[in-house]
Amino acid sequence: MQAQPHPLEPFFQQVVRNSYEGKLGLHDPDLTAYVARILCEFSQADKLYSIRDAAGRPIEEIEEMERAADPVLGTAASFDAERALRKYIGDYSLFVAGMYPEAIGSSRRHRGRNPSRHPSIEELIRAGKESYFIVSQFNLFEYEQEAPLFARLSSSFERLLLGLTLVREDLGPRKPRQLPPRVN
């Protein structure tokens, strides 16, 4: 049975398509649809931090998410769980970097453990590209059809990120257009 589409999906489809096709010249309906679904998914606050630690607390740091996704040394119980966690890390990285740049930290690494440290843009891009690439390598059986999409998500990550920043600008408050101040 097919899941019902999210009520915001047509709206996000249009906004993403306007940015990707209209402003970036990126004509890939599958990528557009996928990114619109990410926006729908993360429009629900409980979905943003869905990876949990052993105590049930949300994991907010990229490095901890990546450790959790490791099926050998981490908490992923299987390779299917690794794939699901890596897909989430890619989606999370793209969403946060594109829609919430104020949540991005500086590129300098902090010394010691700081639970409120925000990932840098470089960390989000690296984690997103790598995670989508790993998901693309699950290319057999039930994942065979989706694998090429994740390969494109990985290789186009920066461009998709730019498109999401344009989406954010379109959705954000309108700034009044004013003439520059007069020079005396």
54 compared with 97, residue with greater pLDDT: 97
Find the radius of gyration of the CA atoms of the chain.
18
**What type of residue is 33?**
A
Tokens 């099926």 correspond to what residue? 71
Quick one: residue 106, left, alpha or beta (phi over 0 = left, psi -120 to 50 = alpha)?
beta
Distance CA 132, CA 180 (A): 44
Q: Does the residue 160 lie in any domain? A: yes
Distance CA 42, CA 83 (A): 19
pLDDT at site 111: 40
Quick one: 39 exposed, middle or buried, by C-beta within 10 A (0-12, 13-18, 19+)? buried
pLDDT at site 176: 55
55 compared with 30, residue with greater pLDDT: 30
Distance CA 28, CA 106 (A): 32
Distance CA 91, CA 94 (A): 5
Distance CA 164, CA 184 (A): 40
Q: Is the pLDDT of residue 177 over 50?
A: yes
Q: Does the residue 100 lie in any domain? A: yes
Extended beta strands in the chain, E state: none
Q: Does the residue 178 lie in any domain? A: no
Q: Report residue 29's pLDDT band, with 50, 70 and 90 as the boundaries.
A: very high
Q: Does the residue 26 lie in any domain? A: yes
Distance CA 53, CA 129 (A): 23
Q: Does the residue 3 lie in any domain? A: no
Helix pair angle (79-99, 121-136), 10° resolution: 140
Q: Does the residue 163 lie in any domain? A: yes
Q: Does the residue 181 lie in any domain? A: no
Q: Is the pLDDT of residue 36 over 70?
A: yes
Give how many domains the chain has, as a whole number: 1
Contact present, 11 and 39 (Cβ < 8 Å)? no
Percent over 70 (pLDDT), the chain: 86
Domain that holds residue 84: 9-107+117-171
pLDDT at site 13: 96
As a dihedral over the C-alpha atoms of residue 15, residue 143, residue 123, residue 92, rounded to 10 degrees, the angle is 50
Q: Does the residue 184 lie in any domain? A: no
pLDDT at site 140: 95
